[in-house]
């Protein structure tokens, strides 16, 4: 019997990939989609070419009327915790589009919901799936392929449409209450995911953000983060204003080698080959952490086997990523270094 899947929200631009991936996964049946944006919802379903998908005007209505096993959460980031709590209370597993949250409090809410109701809550980063070199490179580093890693450097971004041309996705992406910030929330989360995955939780975070190039936004178009570790660090850059691509998007520096990622693949530099420009690695030279091509496929495989999903997609890892992002936002606001761990957000009598 196939696992029944629903799409909760269509405002995140990556929803198109989820619609395609779920329809390709053996053992899954995409049956419903819920969102208040009717025009955008219908457009997504039409593009998917599947008229059998039941459409609902709200996520709550979909959850009430459909017996689902899994939902993919593609709402604005600020609504992730609410949707996960609604789904988890019904025993529904959740695939949440990146980032899980931009506040530790929301991440803790989802962690608690997953534990209380015994469901899996996993977060999708496109860089960790598909035919990219990134997920293989991360696995190589974790297995000791560059010696002890001591630094992660990542730059992500590109140009975005003008605010006046914004579609449903960019309308919320450009609003800090829903996205958390601008380029910081959109792109620094990728670097935070990698840094936490390779180096663990940092001791402190310093971040800066500003509207350096554009004049049509109310939020930042560029952001930078510095993560300090006992014996290492991470440099993370996000931009909405860059034309073209730099030679390297991501660097993993280790005591024995450096691994550089480009749009074309991966290059390994060590003491023997750095003078010759390093050694270009084919995908087959890099270890594959999981056999599945997408997180939806991986989740189905794990549910069929009664196993947990890979740690890099799990709720505890992405709770830690959210803590780093929260610390970054606090640092931007205060102009100060923010030390981790942050105070654990616990409910008090005054919150009720």
pLDDT digits (tens, 9 = 90+) for 176-221: 999 999 999 999 999 999 999 999 999 999 999 999 999 999 999 9
pLDDT-derived band of residue 351, with 50, 70 and 90 as boundaries? Answer: low
Has residue 36 got a pLDDT over 90? yes
pLDDT digits (tens, 9 = 90+) for 256-277: 999 999 877 899 999 999 999 9
More confident residue, 79 or 52: 79
Q: What is the pLDDT of residue 48?
A: 84
Note the pTM of the prediction, 2 decimals: 0.96
Annotation: CATH topology of 131-290+324-331: Dihydrodipicolinate Reductase; domain 2 (3.30.360)
Give me the sheet containing 3-8, strands edge to edge.
54-56, 28-34, 3-8, 70-73, 93-97, 121-124
Has residue 149 got a pLDDT over 90? yes
pLDDT digits (tens, 9 = 90+) for 153-188: 999 999 999 998 888 889 999 999 999 999 999 999
* Summary count for the chain: helices (H), strands (E): 12, 15
pLDDT digits (tens, 9 = 90+) for 291-311: 999 999 999 999 999 999 999
Residue 143 host element (H or E): none
pLDDT digits (tens, 9 = 90+) for 63-73: 999 999 999 99
Residue spans per domain, the chain:
3-127+292-311, 131-290+324-331
Give the Cα separation of 10 and 24 in Å (integer): 19
Instruction: Tell how far CA 268 is from the center of its chain.
Output: 26
| Cβ atoms of 74 and 21 closer than 8 Å | no
pLDDT digits (tens, 9 = 90+) for 214-253: 999 999 999 999 999 999 999 999 999 999 877 779 999 9
Tell whether domain 3-127+292-311 is in CATH 3.40.50.720: yes
Q: What is the pLDDT of residue 349?
A: 66
Nearest to 119 by CA among 89, 96, 76, 150: 89
């Amino acid at each position: 019997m196939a696992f029944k899947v629903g799409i909760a929200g269509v405002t995140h631009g990556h929803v198109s990939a989820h619609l395609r991936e779920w329809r390709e996964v053996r053992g899954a049946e995409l049956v419903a989609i819920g969102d208040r944006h009717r025009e955008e919802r219908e457009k997504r379903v039409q593009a998917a070419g599947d008229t059998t998908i039941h459409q609902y005007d709200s996520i709550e209505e979909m959850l009430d009327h459909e017996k689902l096993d899994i939902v993919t959460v593609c709402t604005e980031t600020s609504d992730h915790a609410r949707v996960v709590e609604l789904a988890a209370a019904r025993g529904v597993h959740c695939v949440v589009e990146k980032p899980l949250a931009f506040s530790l409090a929301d991440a803790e809410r989802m962690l608690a919901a997953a534990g209380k109701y015994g469901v899996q809550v996993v977060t999708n980063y496109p860089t960790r799936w598909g035919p990219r070199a990134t997920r293989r490179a991360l696995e190589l580093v974790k297995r000791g392929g560059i010696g002890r890693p001591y630094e992660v450097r990542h730059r992500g971004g590109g140009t975005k449409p003008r605010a006046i041309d914004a579609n449903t996705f960019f309308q919320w992406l450009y609003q800090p209450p829903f996205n958390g910030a601008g380029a910081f929330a959109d792109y620094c989360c990728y670097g935070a995911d990698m840094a936490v995955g390779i180096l663990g939780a940092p001791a402190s975070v310093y971040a800066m953000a500003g509207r350096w190039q554009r004049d049509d936004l109310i939020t930042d178009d560029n952001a930078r983060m510095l993560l300090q570790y006992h014996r290492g660090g991470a440099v993370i850059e996000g931009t909405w204003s860059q034309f073209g691509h730099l030679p390297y998007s991501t660097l993993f520096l280790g005591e024995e080698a450096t691994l550089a990622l480009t749009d074309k693949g991966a290059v390994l530099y060590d003491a023997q080959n750095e003078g010759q420009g390093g050694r270009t690695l084919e995908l087959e030279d890099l270890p594959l952490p999981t056999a599945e091509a997408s997180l939806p496929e991986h989740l189905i495989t794990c549910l069929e086997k009664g196993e947990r999903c890979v740690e890099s997609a799990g709720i505890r890892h992405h709770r830690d990523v959210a803590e780093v992002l929260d610390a970054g936002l606090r640092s931007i606001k205060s102009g100060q270094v923010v030390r981790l761990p942050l105070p654990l957000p616990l409910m008090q009598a005054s919150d009720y």
